[in-house]
Amino acid sequence: MGNKIRFTQITKRSLMSTCIDSLRQERGQHLFYPTPTLPAGCTGELQPMDLSVNGDFKRAMKSCFTKWYAEEVARKMNNADQSVDLRLSIVKPIHARWLIECLDTLAKDKEMTRQGWRLAGLIE
């Protein structure tokens, strides 16, 4: 089967035996590859996108929402009804546009992605 390693995150000791029993049922009594466990909160060390891109992406999305919301509040200041319509049918298409804009912006910065892989120790 090759040298495959399966990482699992176990947060409670009781889940460990359940996980191993499930793997044994799936693959028979002999597990084909080791299943090392990682302490809770450590998976980010092995996930390069968490170390670089995801934070910038979340900040960019939050910035888009904040700007949009401020514009909506300013636009409604003169109206009697000052509530901002946050129904999914209103926000979802706008959110899709922000998503594409943020992804396009981040895709241009390939060095940021490489930096996450370096921080995780997966490339030099």
- At 30-74, the pLDDT tens digits run 555 566 676 777 766 777 888 888 888 999 999 999 999 999 988
Q: Are residues 63 and 81 in the same domain?
A: yes
Query: Most distant CA pair in the chain: distance in Å?
Result: 71
Same domain assignment for residues 69 and 25: no
Clarify whether residues 39 and 51 are in a common domain. Answer: no
Domain tally, the chain: 2
Tell me whether residue 1 is in a domain.
no
Provide the whole-model pTM: 0.59
Is 31 a domain residue? yes
Asked if 87 and 30 sit in the same domain, the reply is no
At 4 the pLDDT is 52
Give the domain range for residue 20.
Answer: 8-45
**69-105: per-residue pLDDT in tens?**
999 988 888 777 778 899 999 999 999 999 999 999 8
58 and 17 fall within a common domain: no
d(C-alpha 94, C-alpha 97), whole Å = 5
Please return the burial class of 39, using the count of CB atoms within 10 Å of its CB with bins 0-12, 13-18 and 19+: exposed
Same domain, residue pair 111 and 53: yes
Residue 98 lies in a domain: yes
Is residue 3 in some structural domain? Answer: no
**d(Cα 70, Cα 123) in Å, to the nearest integer?**
42
Higher-confidence residue: 48 or 13? 48
Higher confidence at residue 106 or residue 32? Answer: 106
For residues 98 and 110, membership in a common domain is answered with yes
Residue 20 domain-assigned (yes or no): yes
**Is 36 in the same domain as 81?**
no
pLDDT grade, residue 11 (50/70/90)? Answer: low
